[in-house]
Amino acid sequence: SSEVLEAIENVIQGVVQSLGQKKAPVLTVANRTDWRNIEFKDSVGLQMIPGCTSKQIRSDCPQSARRFALTLKILSMIYKMVQSNTYATKRDIYYSDTQLFGSQSAVDQIINDISCMLKIPRRSLHVLATTKGFVAGNLSFTEEDGTKVNCTCSATVFTVPSNVQGIKNLTSHAKFILIVEKDATFQRLLDDDFFNKVSPCIMITGRGVPDLNTRLLVRKLWDSFQIPIFTLMDADPHGVEIMCVYKYGSVSMSFEAHHLTVPSVKWLGLLPSDLERLNICKDALIPFTKQDENKLASIQKRPYIACQPLWKRELEIMAASKLKAEIQVLTSLSSDYLSKVYLPNKLQFGGWL
């Protein structure tokens, strides 16, 4: 906490010095969303390069004066929270003055900019993200406040903790971790008691694009147990994008790649090649939209696809067919095909990439 306070004091000192010299104060923030500032490392994923380009948030410029003021406001809130050892969610910060902040997304962006500017992980700033992810299966742990969570003894779903860094005493006999893209598929596997019937496993869903806490938990489980991690996604560009976020990280959070990415993640399904192999009826598939075509073309150009020839081949199959499929398409074969046939066979015979 002393490191965080010192980092904030240094920023404010710079502002005060500028004012003392009758200059307009300026905050300098790295360009987090520029691909030119990102490098790909096989062992880490997408990470920010050391000498990356930056942008200035000026206090004397009409376009950025408001953002400058909001950044200082949130810095002061973080400073008080770190001093008093209290926490707030990004939502709490927005609702403390909705008129001032204008929107939740403005608060989210500024907090990520502050984290990047101070070079301090967001959870160390005492700002917690609202969690939307779920976890179930062969896992028990103790939350920071001492609450014991045991996912093993029932088919109950537990929300991913809002302070993943604080959880301890993780125990599991799981043989693998299964990341499921969608809540509906996750619930279906729970109803079928999948995590007990095949072999003990941990199941996680970020319910679409994963939030920070879900990604942190996947990373923490990998660090703790070093067991295989598989992904079960829709066979569409959006599903591939989500899988890449877990494995290689995202451009906007590349400054935190070391804490968030798990490069050992494997693509278990639904593979584009599975659709042909399983003779899925063409009528059950969905034609690409223009947006799908653009998303897939953008993924194919990314640096990490070059070092994944098998993934590259699957994306080529998808691009050639211009058809996509949701995991639910497997119910066209039989209602419990996913949990009774597809996943057990894939896991037994190594059908992952």
Q: DSSP alpha helices (H): ranges in the chain? A: 2-20, 65-84, 90-96, 98-101, 104-118, 183-191, 194-197, 212-225, 237-248, 257-260, 272-277, 290-300, 309-321, 337, 343-349
Measured between alpha carbons, how far is 104 from 333 in angstroms, rounded to an integer? 43
Give me Rg for the CA atoms of the chain. 22
CA-based torsion, 325, 329, 333, 337: positive or negative: positive
Phi, psi of 201, deg, nearest 5: -150, 170
Measured between alpha carbons, how far is 211 from 123 in angstroms, rounded to an integer? 13
Query: Exactly one of 95, 246, 248, 337 is catalytic; which is it?
Result: 95
Q: Are 159 and 134 in contact (CB under 8 A)?
A: yes
Residue 58, class by beta-carbon neighbours within 10 Å (0-12 exposed, 13-18 middle, 19+ buried)?
A: middle
What is the DSSP code string of 304-326? TGGG-HHHHHHHHHHHHHTEEB-
Give the CA count within 13 Å in the CB-facing half-sphere of 233: 27
Residue with token string 């790649």: 257
Active site residue 87: no
How far the first Cα of the chain sits from its last, in Å, is 42
Measured between alpha carbons, how far is 231 from 250 in angstroms, rounded to an integer? 17
Q: Are 155 and 181 in contact (CB under 8 A)?
A: no
Measured between alpha carbons, how far is 232 from 204 in angstroms, rounded to an integer? 10
Q: Which residues contact 128 (CB under 8 A, 6 or more apart)?
A: 87, 88, 89, 90, 162, 163, 213
Q: Which positions are catalytic?
A: 95
